[in-house]
Amino acid sequence: MAYTVKRPKLAWWEKLYLPGLAKGLRITLGHFVKTLSRKKKVTMQYPEEKWDSSLPEHYRGAPALVTDEQDRERCVACQLCEFICPPRAITINPEEIPSDDKWAKVEKRPKKFEIDMIRCIYCGMCEEVCPEQAIFLRKDYAITGTSRAEMVHDKEKLYEIGGVREGLVNKWNDLK
């Protein structure tokens, strides 16, 4: 419905516009002086100052694979993360664990595990869907490279970022 907007009635000195200008200038110059005198901390000088120390616990950075305290790669190549990944950034080629291996009963492990960091949207669905607690989003956020190939994290790189993670549920222990 159309309706008429009530315009405020201006006094004659308000119509002069100059008081308005002075008022506006006072605000902007106030900010100007405040910023110049460094009374107000405004922006982080990014490459020199980083926010790493104040990142929250739930920060979602680059996804990475982890090993546990028994040095076992936790991923069992179930490929759930590959299927749920919205931008299809994850590629997994599974392979069978040979029978003479200590962890032969796990049966499967990834032969190739690649995350294309150009595609990754840091949604954290892979972490959520993983039944093995093998993939986690870490606090790395500055992922850069000079070529597309460099931006694809392969298995070694993923384990390098992920490292060892202790205190997780060990469902492949001999006790069970």
Residue choice 10, 13, 14, 18 for contact with other proteins (CB under 8 A): 18
Number of other residues whose CB lies within 10 A of the CB of residue 62: 21
Q: Does residue 5 belong to the site contacting other proteins (CB under 8 A)?
A: no
- Residue 16: C-alpha distances to residues 7, 10, 27, 57, 149 (Å): 17, 10, 19, 55, 64
Q: Where does this chain touch other proteins (CB under 8 A) — which range of 34-42, 88-96, 120-128, 155-163?
A: 34-42
Compute the distance between CA of residue 176 and CA of residue 174 in angstroms, rounded to an integer.
Answer: 5
- 112 beta partners: 93
Residue choice 1, 5, 11, 36 for contact with other proteins (CB under 8 A): 36
Q: Does residue 10 belong to the site contacting other proteins (CB under 8 A)?
A: no
Q: Does residue 29 belong to the site contacting other proteins (CB under 8 A)?
A: yes
* The two three-digit tokens of residue 91, written as one number: 């590629």
- Shortest separation between residue 28's beta carbon and other proteins, angstroms: 4
Asked whether the beta carbons of 153 and 117 are under 8 A apart, the reply is yes
Q: Does residue 25 belong to the site contacting other proteins (CB under 8 A)?
A: yes
Residues lying near other proteins in the complex (CB under 8 A): 18, 21, 24-25, 27-29, 31-32, 34-36, 40, 42-43, 45
